[in-house]
Amino acid sequence: MQIIDHQTDRKILLAMMPNYFGDMVKAVVDIAKKKIGVDSELHADIEREMLAQGSSQYDLWGINLYPEMDGEDFIEFDSMINIRPGQGNRSRDVQDADTRRRIIETVNYLLPC
């Protein structure tokens, strides 16, 4: 597991792909602190580490990254940690357009092509 809080070459994800899922790397994005936790079997494990480092549950969102893909195919908004009825998110998907935008902006800034 690694926490990314500064711009890093996206190619580091290629080395992580074989660790758990082959073509995908699980990640959790802190949309307030602009950081990403990557490379764990479960989003919940990354979430726990980021909470221990001071992130707020409200700002953490689980995604999957596909390092060999580009554009919209690079990020998949799917995680059990995203099910939050109290925040109006009732599915594993990230339903709020502004939250999705903030996730995409954080990922593209920290992991540029």
Which sequence spans correspond to the domains of the chain? Answer: 2-97
* pLDDT per residue of the chain (113 residues) written in tens, 0 to 9: 999 999 999 999 999 999 899 999 999 999 999 999 999 999 999 999 999 999 999 999 999 999 999 999 999 999 999 999 999 999 999 999 999 999 999 999 999 98
Instruction: Look up the pTM and report it.
Output: 0.96
Maximum CA pair distance of the chain?
36
* Tokens standing for residue 38: 């990557």
* Tokens standing for residue 75: 């990020």
DSSP state of 84: B
Question: Hey, which bits of the chain come out as E strands?
Answer: 2-4, 25-30, 35-38, 60-65, 75-76
